[in-house]
Amino acid sequence: MSEFFKESVKSALKYYVYALVDPRNKCIFYVGKGCGDRIYNHAKDALRDNSDSLKLTTIREIHEAGLEVIYYILRHNLSEKEAFLVESSIIDLLTYESFNMKNVLANIATGHHQWDEGIKTTEEINILYDCPKIEPVAGDRLLLVSLNKSYNQSKAYGVYRRANVYESARKYWVISAKKAAKVDFILGVYRKIVRIVIDVKGYNVCESDSGRRIAFEGNIVTDSPYLNKDVSDYPFGSGGAVTYIPRTGF
């Protein structure tokens, strides 16, 4: 099978969204977008690149079994923007855990804008667009941390690349050890809404190139009254990454 398109085919395809399928189980293991011969480049990368990414490892295993990757064009004749949206929707559909527990994609990141515009229950839609204001419990000392740079991992980079939202919320924050010792709960905030609540059990002081930072330890609270609440009455301020409730008492 040829691993390139003729110019007439490339011209007709324009931007497209494609899937790589494992011939051993007929399962999609990668979804991508591109133009030209992009769909075929992964197999070439597997021959040149020795990295252990799931995508390239799967391709090598297919070749070692004497088989070839199966290629599908899912949608074509698209603009780049349209391809971006179609790719995102398909990745979300194939990785949404509530009704897809078996399919595993080798894509590093989930669909673009997965939280903002991806698959949701109607309850989650209401959480996103009609959240009640937070009502702090008297005596609770809350540390609000901004997840705007780390919640959407498809756009996160550098120190903001994290394994999960818990790792994003618990570290690394520029606050004093004195204040850290007083925190009862961490509220991870994305776009003014509390996305995760952590019951703090302790903290560590970490040294970095930019000075001392705090990394907390604790348990995720899934039934917290603070979860999915609007905290727009407690802004972070210009460029700020943390704020407190109450404003005094820390």
Q: Which of 217, 87, 154 is nearest to 162 (CA)?
A: 154
Backbone angles phi, psi at 3, to 5 degrees: -110, 40
| CB crowding 12-39: b at 16 or more within 10 Å, else e | ebebbbbbbbbeeeeebbbbbbbbbeeb
The answer to whether 1 and 64 have CB atoms below 8 angstroms apart is: no
- pTM assigned to the model: 0.56
Answer with the residue of higher pLDDT: 125 or 144: 144
SS3 6: coil
Query: What is residue 102's predicted lDDT score, i.e. its pLDDT?
Result: 65
As a whole number, mean pLDDT of residues 171-184 equals: 93
Residues 6 or more apart whose Cβ sits within 8 Å of residue 120:
128
pLDDT one-digit tens code per residue, 41-86: 877 776 676 666 778 888 889 999 999 999 999 999 999 999 998 9
Q: Is 209 left (phi over 0), alpha (psi -120 to 50) or beta?
A: alpha
Output the DSSP codes for 170-216. Answer: HS-B---HHHHTT--EEEEEETTEEEEEEEEEEEEEEEETTEEEEEE
Query: What is residue 34's predicted lDDT score, i.e. its pLDDT?
Result: 93
pLDDT one-digit tens code per residue, 111-120: 444 555 677 7
pLDDT one-digit tens code per residue, 202-216: 999 988 767 789 999
How many helices (H) does the chain have, and how many strands (E)? 8, 8
Residue 110 pLDDT > 90, yes or no?
no
SS3 29: strand
